[in-house]
Amino acid sequence: KKIIFSGVQPSGQLTLGNYLGALKNWVDLQDDYRCIYSVVDLHAITVRQEPAKLRRQILETYALLLACGVDPQKSLLFIQSQVSTHAELAWILNCYTQFGELSRMTQFKDKSARHADNVNAGLFTYPSLMAADILLYQADLVPVGADQKQHLELSRDIATRMNGLYNNVFTVPEPYIPKAGARVMSLQDPTKKMSKSDENVNAYVAILDKPDDIMRKFKRAVTDSEAKVCRGEGKDGVNNLIGIYAAVTGKTEEQVEAEFEGKGYGDFKAAVGEAVVETLRPVREKFEQYMGDKAFLEQCYREGAEKAYAVSRRTLGKVQRKIGFLSR
* Angle at 129 (CA atoms; ends 42, 40), nearest 5 degrees: 35
307 is catalytic: no
- List 1, 24, 74, 111, catalytic entry: 111
Q: What is the DSSP string of 151-213?
A: HHHHHHHHHHHHHHHHSS-----EEE--SSSSSPBPSS-TTSB--TT-S-GGG--BTT--HHH
Q: What is the DSSP string of 264-285?
A: -HHHHHHHHHHHHHHHHHHHHH
* Interacting span for ligand TYM (CB under 6 A) from 15-23, 160-168, 233-241, 273-281: 15-23
CB 171 within 8 A of CB 142: no
To ligand TYM, the closest distance from the beta carbon of 240 in angstroms equals 10
Total residues contacting ligand TYM (rule CB under 6 A)?
A: 26
Q: Can residue 27 be called a binding residue for ligand TYM (CB under 6 A)?
A: no
The nearer residue to ligand TYM, 7 or 304, going by C-beta atoms, is: 7
Q: Can residue 156 be called a binding residue for ligand TYM (CB under 6 A)?
A: no
Q: Can residue 134 be called a binding residue for ligand TYM (CB under 6 A)?
A: yes
> Would you say how long the chain is, in residues?
328
Q: DSSP state, 294?
A: H
Q: Can residue 133 be called a binding residue for ligand TYM (CB under 6 A)?
A: yes
Q: Can residue 21 be called a binding residue for ligand TYM (CB under 6 A)?
A: yes
219 is catalytic: no
To ligand TYM, the closest distance from the beta carbon of 16 in angstroms equals 8
192 is catalytic: no
Q: Can residue 184 be called a binding residue for ligand TYM (CB under 6 A)?
A: yes
Please state, in angstroms and as integers, the Cα–Cα distance from residue 15 to each residue in 66, 72, 160, 194, 218, following that order. 16, 22, 33, 8, 14
* Interacting span for ligand TYM (CB under 6 A) from 182-190, 229-237, 245-253, 301-309: 182-190
Query: Which residues are CB-contacts of 198 (< 8 A; sequence separation ≥ 6)?
Result: 186, 188, 192, 204
Which residue is nearest to ligand TYM, using beta carbons? 21
- List 24, 53, 74, 193, catalytic entry: 193
Q: How far apart are CA 28 and CA 51, in angstroms?
A: 33
Q: Can residue 189 be called a binding residue for ligand TYM (CB under 6 A)?
A: no
To ligand TYM, the closest distance from the beta carbon of 148 in angstroms equals 4
Give the burial class of 243: count Cβ atoms within 10 A of its Cβ; 0-12 exposed, 13-18 middle, 19 or more buried: buried
To ligand TYM, the closest distance from the beta carbon of 292 in angstroms equals 25
Known binding-site residue numbers for L-tryptophan = 133
Binding site for ligand TYM (CB under 6 A): 5-9, 17-18, 20-22, 40, 43, 130, 133-134, 142, 144-145, 147-148, 151, 182-184, 193-194
